[in-house]
Amino acid sequence: MTCTIDNVAVPDLLSSYRVRSPAFNYTTPPNNNLLEAAEGEPCYNDPSPTPTPFTVVGAVADGFYLMVAPLSLGAHTVHFTGQSGNILSGTYEDMTYNLTVTPMPALLTTGRQGTNAMILSWPQTASGYVLETTSGLNPANWSPAEASVQTFEGQYQVTIPMIGPVNFSG
Say how far apart CA 160 and CA 170 lie, in whole Å. 18
User: Does 84 share its domain with 118?
Assistant: no
| Prediction pTM value | 0.47
pLDDT higher than 60, residue 169: no
116 with 55, same domain: the answer is no
- Least confidently predicted of 1-10, 52-61, 94-103: 52-61
**Of the residues 74, 101, 128, which one is the last residue of a structural domain?**
101
Query: Higher pLDDT residue, 133 or 126?
Result: 133
Helix (H) / strand (E) element for 36: namely helix 34-37
- My answer on whether 15 and 65 are in the same domain is yes
Same domain, 89 and 122: no
Q: How confident is the model at residue 140 (pLDDT cuts 50, 70, 90)?
A: confident
Find out whether 156 and 108 touch, Cβ atoms under 8 Å.
no
Rounded Cα gap, residues 170 and 158, in angstroms: 16
Contact 159, 128 (CB under 8 A): no
Confidence of residue 74 (pLDDT cuts 50, 70, 90): very high
Task: Note whether 32 and 67 are same-domain residues.
Answer: yes
Per the structure, the complete domain to which residue 61 belongs is given by 2-101
Last residue of a domain, one of 101, 120, 138: 101
Domain count, the chain: 2
In this structure, are 119 and 158 located in the same domain?
A: yes
**Which helix (DSSP H) or strand (DSSP E) does residue 77 occupy?**
strand 74-84
Mean pLDDT of the chain, nearest integer: 80
Assess whether 51 and 91 both reside in one domain.
yes
